[in-house]
């Protein structure tokens, strides 16, 4: 029941993410300001803004100018599914501390989804989003540090995890003078490392990201949709890796552990 509820909340946040990236791109105030059609600029009524349902009833077209709507209901469905899975497969006990971490994580999911969409659309990770994620991760660490009676182990793990997340990218970035990896990916690495609070998880995120990246590259090359040297944004794959690592990381870890020993 709560899983369904989380899915619906996620749909609403997914809808917010769709609108949010446009406002971020155009530097608009995203707190006030009504949603408009990106083509005819017609203000959208609340009946146009119901996640997925509006898209289905309008058959993906603007009610006013009938142009194809840019915002895909896939964002809404994806965020909904991530919210539901996060709750369903949450690796921590859902007591006070576990709930707190889940709420922080869900805020992070909204930020990560916005980064994902932004990077796919415009091939860049905006600083505003990576810094927001970093700030969120710092707040989480500090609050956990305090509620765990000033537990320095938490701080140490968090810093180590952040170093694993961003350190490798930072070296590649410096070594290649920004050719092989973007500065946005480096900042993202430090931020999600700190967020994940476990040095194993950024590794896992990287493994998942590079595996998906290679598979997508092979697929695109095989279908002649890309050639060697075509730039693929790495951010979305990293974000996918972070989602898998956080939600299913400990399960994957146990599973591979059982295979090996
Ligand atoms: Zn329109």
For 83-136, how does the pLDDT look when each residue is reduced to its tens digit (9 = 90+)? 999 999 999 999 889 999 999 999 999 999 999 999 999 988 999 999 999 999
Spacing, Cα 24 to ligand 1 middle (Å): 20
Ligand 1 geometric centre to CA of 116 (Å): 25
pTM to 2 decimals? 0.91
Quick one: CA dihedral 163, 143, 238, 88, positive or negative? positive
Q: How far apart are the CA of 67 and the centre of ligand 1, in A?
A: 6
Q: What is the pLDDT of residues 191-227, one digit of tens each?
A: 999 999 999 999 999 999 999 989 988 888 888 777 7
Mean pLDDT of 164-189: 91
For the cut 70, the answer to whether the pLDDT of residue 29 exceeds it is no
Q: How many CB atoms lie within 10 A of CB 171?
A: 12
Domain spans in the chain, listed from the N-terminal domain onward: 1-88, 96-261
Quote the ligand 1 centre to 79 CA distance (angstroms).
25
**How far away, in angstroms, is 120 Cα from ligand 1 center?**
23
Task: Measure 64 CA to ligand 1 centroid, in angstroms.
Answer: 5
68 CA distance to ligand 1 middle (Å) = 8
């Amino acid at each position: 029941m709560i899983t369904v509820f989380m899915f619906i909340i996620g749909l609403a946040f997914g809808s917010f993410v769709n609108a949010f990236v446009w406002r971020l791109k155009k530097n608009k105030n995203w707190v006030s300001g009504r949603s408009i059609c990106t083509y005819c600029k017609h203000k959208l009524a609340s009946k146009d803004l119901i996640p997925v349902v509006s898209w289905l009833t309008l058959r993906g077209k603007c009610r006013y100018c009938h142009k194809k709507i840019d915002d895909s209901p896939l964002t809404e469905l994806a965020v909904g599914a991530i919210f539901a899975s996060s709750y369903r497969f949450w690796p921590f006990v859902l007591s006070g501390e576990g709930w707190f971490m889940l709420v922080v994580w869900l805020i992070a999911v909204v930020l990560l989804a916005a980064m994902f969409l932004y990077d796919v659309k415009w091939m860049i990770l905006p600083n505003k989003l990576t810094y927001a994620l970093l700030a969120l991760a710092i707040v989480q660490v500090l609050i956990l540090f305090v509620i765990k009676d000033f537990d320095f182990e938490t701080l140490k793990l968090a810093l180590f995890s952040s170093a694993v997340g961003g350190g490798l990218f930072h070296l590649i970035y410096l070594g290649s003078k920004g050719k092989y990896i973007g500065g946005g990916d480096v900042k993202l690495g430090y931020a999600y490392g700190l967020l994940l609070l476990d040095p194993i998880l950024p590794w896992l995120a990287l493994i998942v990201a590079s595996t998906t990246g290679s598979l997508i590259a092979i697929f695109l090359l095989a279908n002649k949709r890309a050639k060697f040297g075509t730039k693929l944004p790495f951010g979305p794959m990293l974000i996918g890796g972070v989602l898998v690592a956080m939600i299913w990381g400990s399960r994957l870890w146990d599973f591979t552990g059982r295979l090996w020993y």
